[in-house]
Amino acid sequence: MMAHKITFTNSIGNSVVLGPKPFKVIRIDGTGGTEADIQTQKAPYQDGHTFVDALLEPKTVEMELAIFARSKEEVFQLRQQLTNVFNPKLGVGLLTYEYPSGVREIEAVPETTPIFPSGIQNSSEGFQRVLITLICPAPFWLDPLENIVKLEDFVANFRFPFHFPVVFSARGDTRTIINDGDVPTPITVEFRGHAINPRVTNVTTGEFIQVNREIPENYRLVIDTEFGRKRVSIIAPDGVETSAFHYIDLESTFFDLEVGENQLSFITSGGSPEVYVHFKKRYVGV
């Protein structure tokens, strides 16, 4: 399937749009099928193997372009523009793919600088064929639109038969969130405002994350569950960020949203924070 428009933005913010002239996309491969490493185990005397998991390998996206220009000088200027943007030394950039059914994005790093084949079939006074190969370390295409769900607040009071009146207050909410992507997806949870020992739970799986400390008024607690980028941070009103990883309850799990319905809840020992859940749906191909 040909893309309507492809945009690549490198790590320092330089970008190039591929599609119409001067950079026409002739061919793009690798947006779909991704190789999987099938994990199995075998018991003594067992026929065959037992499936354990399937781990997707990095995705390779290959593109063939054609530069159309008014002169040989302009061809070389456009070649330099591509070389500047598709620079492997800059690390991971963002590939945005617009096609008839929507828009997806994926992190990618150029495997090499752009290749400009020689010969009369590949270049002329106002034409140059270009080959670009991108490696996508995380093989999932993302919905560029971030989903943000606010967990509404309620108050529940509990009395216990002590010798003197004691009332404990807990604040929280349960909300059903739908992940209709292809695979589980990580979340970012944000507690805004005063909270004591805040906890967010995926009721569907029983997993939870709890931070055992008090978050002051006008501060934010941010929890990111993405593999390789996990973080727990307290952000002050002036923007100063402090790690709170050492306050994580030892039984916590940095969980994902499972495919389908997920019931998420939050609770605190005190305070009245606003709680937001951020996530992007993930797809194995387009």
Q: Which of 27-31, 76-80, 81-85, 219-223 has the lowest mean pLDDT?
A: 27-31
Phi first, then psi, for residue 122 (nearest 5°) are -110, -15
- pLDDT score at 161: 45
CATH number at residue 233: 2.60.120.860
Q: Do 13 and 53 belong together in one domain?
A: yes
Is pTM beyond 0.85 here?
Answer: no
Q: What is the mean pLDDT of the chain?
A: 88
User: Quick check: 91 pLDDT over 50?
Assistant: yes
Residue with tokens 């005397």, as numbered in its chain: 45
Q: Of 110 and 270, which is predicted with more confidence?
A: 110
147-161 confidence digits (pLDDT tens): 999 987 644 433 344
CATH number at residue 14: 2.40.30.200
- pLDDT score at 47: 87
pLDDT (average), residues 69-75: 92
Q: Do 128 and 154 belong together in one domain?
A: no
* Domains contained in the chain, number: 2
Q: Do 104 and 172 belong together in one domain?
A: no
Please state, in angstroms and rounded to a whole number, the distance separating the CA atoms of residues 109 and 85: 11
- pLDDT score at 173: 66
- pLDDT score at 1: 44
Q: Do 23 and 135 belong together in one domain?
A: yes
- pLDDT score at 56: 79
Residue 114 C-beta-side C-alpha neighbours within 13 Å? 24
User: Quick check: 54 pLDDT over 60?
Assistant: yes
Phi first, then psi, for residue 245 (nearest 5°) are -60, -35
- pLDDT score at 153: 60
Strands 199-202 and 274-279: unpaired
Q: Do 152 and 279 belong together in one domain?
A: yes
Q: What residue numbers bound the domain in which 65 lies? A: 5-139
